[in-house]
Amino acid sequence: MIEENKPQHVSKELESWVEQTTGLTKPDKVYWCDGSELENRKLLSFLTESKQIIKLNEKKYPNCYLYRTNENDVARVEDRTLICTDSEVEAGPTNRWMKKETAFRMMQDLFKEIMAGRTMYVVPYLLGPEGSSFSQVGVELTDSAYVAVNMRILTRMGDIALQELNRKKEFVKAIHSIGNLDPEKRYICHFPDERLLMSINTVYGGNAILSKKPHALRIASIIARKEGWLAEHMFLLEIVNKENDKNYYISGALPSASGKTNLAMIQPSKAFKDFTARTVGDDISWLFSGKNGEMRGINPENGFFGVAYGTGPYSNPNILESLKKNTIFTNVALNPKDNTPWWEGLSEFPETLYDWTGKEWHKGGSSAAHMNSRFTTPIKQYRFKSDRYEDPDGVEISAMLFGGRRSSLLPLVYEAQTFEQGILVGAMTRAETTAAQSGAARVVRDDPMSMIAFCGYNMGDYFNHWFEFAEKIKKRPKVFNVNWFRKDENGNYIWPGFGENFRILEWMIKRIDGTVKAKEFPIGFLPYVEDINLNGMDFDVERLKKLLYFDKDGWAGELIKVKEFFDKFGERFPKKLWDEFDKMNKRVLDYVPEN
Ligand code: GTP
Ligand code: SPV
Ligand code: MN
């Protein structure tokens, strides 16, 4: 077996684990990634020459590539994502569980000699800013060069991680193989006790790029509980009011493919020229308590793995320039005329087009780009990033928001009256599913804190942990809930969304500053209609009233569903959360509408 590019100083633990994995998987070659530009070019040339990836137009899209996954491998597979512990109760009623020994044996069998004839890449990566006490090291061993080049964009990969490892000693171990892409033998296993991840028969993002959901959320959430912080499925947005030079940091949880990246990259509409908005993170936030009782947050990632489909000049003008270089596209369509990537929403339909599977596309067929097509692009080259994104101490959180896709009932925005009530608002999130996970799209499901698929342990304990964490926070962020996705009788979105969402963010800022009153309802505070700034926008106030209406009967029904979900956790469900629930439920039932 050939070993290439092995660094001089490697810890004994790492060395012996790599050896052990090599013994099991039997690759022809082991290549240690250093994260250099030269190495990246080599990997991409290899992928291009072996026809695994398509190099795009070098003039229009320098250093950009298109990758097509197998048609059966286009999204996270939640029913094959397993938490593997001694007892099922550790995983809780919302996760799929397998006994640790059973899962380990199963994975050992599947990995046996699986890398024969292939190269195994050793990919050390750092999650979080260099030098931050919150950063974590991981090492992924993978036989996919595509995974390696994605990790280089999404994490701080290579030597920088090994150096950090020499200081920190501890690291998360991740093993991945393309295998043979058999969907019946596809598994993403999490072994929290060993801080080990094993994934096979997939190359799709969150299944295979193990630094993402498997490490930065599932394993990190378990570490966070032990250490007293939170790992959340949240974007992190910086807003500056240039008029008074005040900064606000808003973290927000919305389920997969439900608007985190778009909101994190919002360009305030013209009516708000005093404000700038900058991105700290678009998908994952690690939150902790600061010295003065404030809540702080970092983005553990170093790049964006965003939904391409629908991204365009209206929805997300800020990102477009960044996608023109050093970007890997997955499952978008291809314009064969000039060899450029294309997806619905980017521009007018080109004359000729290959769909995401590589077949010629015809009008009237299904979408040309896959609904869950993605771009992988570095934060560094994103013009609207916050200067603070690499701050090792993170940023101070001013507000948090929860939400999801709901075609009815949920108002455009409401505010929790206390932080504890805010925990309830997060915990009772129910939202429609999307193309980001396989299975039925657009069905309403319980998705507390948008973490249903990402909490690595019993969610009853997770809710408890939120309350424990809250006790450390003395300067409490306000908590809001948003819903951009209400539909009218014709099935069209009522609220235009995207840049116009800044109108809602502005209201939140006024609430943070205490410069605007709000009206109390059983679920929390709702805005007075006249306090939502509609300047420069053609939007009927009557429609806004509808979006800010409190529907007593609807909410009574909603809370019945919420209770059914909460009941699943039995003893492990926090009493404090039941208290919050009971209070809200009573207020809803006692409510007498004004005329
Ligand atoms: P993940 O990366 O899967 O976690 O997704 P995300 O939460 O970052 O979602 P993203 O911002 O990529 O948006 C996903 C989809 O939601 C895209 O198709 C967007 O066009 C759509 N979307 C985002 N914001 C809005 C909005 O304000 N209104 C409407 N109607 N659609 C939106
Ligand atoms: C999500 O599904 O929430 C994503 C994409 O952000 S993935 O990395 O595949 O999880
Ligand atoms: Mn996500």
Name the domain boundary from 330, 359, 381.
381
Q: HEC string of 194-244? A: HCEEEEECCCCHHHHCCHHHHHHHHHHHHHHHHHCCEEECEEEEEEEECCC
Contact 239, 247 (CB under 8 A): yes
Distance from Cα 218 to the centre of ligand 2, integer Å: 12
The candidate with the shortest Cα–Cα distance to 367, out of 336, 332, 335, is: 332
In a domain, 58, yes or no: no
Whether 351 maps to a domain, the answer reads yes
Which pLDDT score, from 0 to 100, does residue 269 have?
84
Q: Residues lining ligand 2, judged by CB closer than 6 Å?
A: 76, 205-206, 212-213, 256, 283, 305, 436
Could you tell me if 472 and 293 are in contact, meaning their C-beta atoms sit under 8 angstroms apart? Answer: yes
Same domain, yes or no, for 95 and 176?
A: yes
**Is residue 567 located within the same domain as residue 537?**
yes
Instruction: Please report the pLDDT score of residue 1 as a whole number.
Output: 85
**Domain annotation covers residue 536:** yes
Ligand 1 atom 11, closest CA: 259
Strand ranges inside 40-132, DSSP E? 53-55, 65-67, 81-85, 96-99, 119-127
Residue 196 and residue 181 share a domain: yes
Q: Give yes or no: residues 260 and 184 share one domain.
A: no
**What ligand has the least distance to the C-alpha of 311?**
1
Q: From the CA of 436, give the closest atom in ligand 2.
A: 2
Q: Same structural domain for residues 212 and 318?
A: no
DSSP letters spanning 242-291: TTTTEEEEEEEE--TTSSHHHHHT----GGGTTEEEEEEESS-EEEEE-T
Tell me which DSSP letter residue 360 carries: B
Ligand 2: which of 140, 213, 299 to mutate, judged by most atoms within 8 Å of the beta carbon? Answer: 213
Cα(579)–Cα(234) distance, integer angstroms:
26
Domain assignment of residue 223, yes or no: yes
393, 351: one domain: no
Encoded tokens for 479 = 């908590």
Domain boundary among 227, 252, 280: 227
Q: Does some domain include residue 63?
A: no
Note whether 124 and 150 are same-domain residues.
yes
Range of the domain at 549: 232-299+389-590
Cα Rg of the chain, angstroms = 24
Indicate if 261 and 311 belong to the same structural domain: no
Q: How far is ligand 3, taken at its centre, from the CA of residue 158, in Å?
A: 24
Q: In angstroms, what is the span from residue 266 Cα to ligand 1's centroid?
A: 11
Nearest CA to ligand 1 atom 13: 259
- CATH code (residue 161): 3.40.449.10
Domain termination site, one of 186, 211, 227: 227
Query: How far, in Å, CA of 333 to CA of 359, rounded?
Result: 9
On whether residue 62 sits in a domain, the answer given is no
Residues 309 and 295 in one domain: no
The CATH number of the domain where 331 resides is what?
2.170.8.10
Residue 564 belongs to domain with CATH number: 3.90.228.20
How many Cβ atoms sit within 10 Å of the Cβ of residue 531?
Answer: 16
| Helices 459-472 and 575-590: angle between axes, nearest 10 degrees | 90
Q: Which residues line ligand 1 (CB under 6 A)?
A: 254, 256-262, 282-283, 306-307, 309-310, 315, 436, 484-485, 493, 497-498, 501
CB atoms within 10 A of CB 13: 13
φ, ψ (nearest 5 deg) of residue 351? -60, -50
The number of folded domains in the chain is 3
Is residue 451 domain-shared with residue 524, that is, in the same domain? yes
Q: Are residues 249 and 329 in the same domain?
A: no
> Which residues face 279 on adjacent strands?
237, 385
In a domain, 65, yes or no: no
Is there a single domain that holds both residue 483 and residue 556?
yes
Q: Tens place of pLDDT for every residue, the chain, 595 residues?
A: 899 999 998 999 999 999 999 999 999 999 999 999 999 999 999 999 999 999 999 999 999 999 999 999 999 999 999 999 999 999 999 999 999 999 999 999 999 999 999 999 999 999 999 999 999 999 999 999 999 999 999 999 999 999 999 988 899 999 999 999 999 999 999 999 999 999 999 999 999 999 999 999 999 999 999 999 999 999 999 999 999 999 999 999 999 999 999 999 999 988 899 999 999 999 999 999 999 999 999 999 999 999 999 999 999 999 999 999 999 999 999 999 999 999 999 999 999 999 999 999 988 889 999 999 999 999 999 999 999 999 999 999 999 999 999 999 999 999 999 999 999 999 999 999 999 888 888 899 999 999 999 999 999 999 999 999 999 999 999 999 999 999 999 999 999 999 999 999 999 999 999 999 999 999 999 999 999 999 999 999 999 999 999 999 999 999 999 999 999 999 999 999 999 999 999 999 999 988 6
Helix (H, G, I), strand (E, B) or coil at 324: helix
Residue owning the nearest CA to atom 23 of ligand 1: 259
CA of 214 to the centre of ligand 3 (A): 12
